[in-house]
Amino acid sequence: MLKLTFLGTSAGVPTKQRNVTALAIECLNPYSSSASQQPKKSRPWLLIDCGEGTQQQLLHTKLSLHQLTAICITHVHGDHCYGLPGLLASAAMSGRRDPLTLIAPKAIATLLEAITAPTELYLPFAINFMAIEELLSKDSGGNGQVSISLDSQHQLDIDITPLSHRVASHGFGITQTISQRTLNADKLTADGIPASALWGKLQQGTDVMTEDGRELRSADYVNNDVKRTRVVVAGDNDTPACLTSALVDTDLLVHEATYTHEVLSKIKAKNPDFDPMHSSAQLVGKFAQDIGLKNLILTHFSARYQSFDNPDSSTANMGHIRLDAQSVYQGNLWLAADFDQYMVDGAVDLAGNQEGSQEEGRVQYLGSARSD
């Protein structure tokens, strides 16, 4: 399960209702024996983009910088990265010591280096910087993928897709895989194997030998169910089709919709020499409809659009964005607002099921993350 918290949903500049781009993704393990008692601040999470003011937004949530596992920056435009130095400095001042993975364009390393010396920024934790250019480089053998093991049964894989924008921009595919080993106690009892320490070893995947010399194979007594949840988060992009391959078996796409189709057309017509290279809600919606995508969240809205939803109003607002997308898309659609939370619950592959998943992935809107 992946829990999304939108920390910023405005494009370019903040507004009174929206900060610039940032998205937190918590990695929840529903199979964890301590999941129900585990404090929210102890859950690992990712940060996708870090616009200016992101750390201030975090103060209104229950997310902790101590549990931040990785930061992914889609591209170098300031509304996606200007908040990074301050957030790292605050993590240091709060006592963080664990290493932090940073997946970003090479220029982000240059930015941090330029700020570190003149401001005497000291980070008491290591940053494992992974340059996107190198991760995607065929010469270096990169495949654009990063794997993070959260525990022995909880795996996170991040893949990178190049997009189309005025600067190099990327989309991140976040795939969480959780395995659950369930011991078939009834079968063990039926086979005359009483409860003992052997049961625990079998559940952990170890073949064992009983006192009377019988060999017991773990695979014969343990069902291994796998829950896979995948979301794709796109950076700035004027060609949604760049994501076609990345969206195979994906539960949710988060994509920018900076303008309506009408406004984007007017901008291009007014200045033929300048293309903002952003998507309209209609463009993303049509793409999602064409590939059969079931769940779509739009974000990164131009500051011209007010937060209220009234398509009949002469003032540009979210109702216009919504109708623009719904004119071509019939799937589940949400327009993100700051602090909106969504739970993405992926499909479960049940052991012994020859026809594949018995449960489909689903997305649920949870409400606001603001804790104040």
Residue 356's region, left for phi above 0, alpha for psi from -120 to 50, else beta, is left
337 Cβ contact partners less than 8 Å away, ≥ 6 residues apart: 6, 9, 17, 18, 307
What separation in angstroms does the CA of 171 have from each of 8, 132, 187? 17, 11, 46
User: Beta-carbon neighbour count of residue 144 at 10 Å?
Assistant: 18
Which among 49, 79, 236, 345 is annotated as catalytic?
Answer: 79
Distance of alpha carbon 220 from alpha carbon 184, whole angstroms:
9
Tokens read off for 176: 């969480």
What separation in angstroms does the CA of 229 have from each of 242, 289, 344, 361? 21, 21, 7, 7
Cα dihedral 21, 24, 25, 31 in deg (nearest 10):
-160
Tokens read off for 57: 């937004």
167 Cβ contact partners less than 8 Å away, ≥ 6 residues apart: 75, 76, 77
Distance of alpha carbon 11 from alpha carbon 9, whole angstroms:
7
Instruction: Specify whether 79 is catalytic.
Output: yes
Q: How many helices (H) and strands (E) does the chain have?
A: 10, 20
Distance of alpha carbon 210 from alpha carbon 198, whole angstroms:
8
> Under a CB-based contact definition with an 8 Å cutoff, are residues 15 and 303 in contact?
yes
- C-alpha 130: how far from chain center: 17
Q: Which residues are catalytic?
A: 79
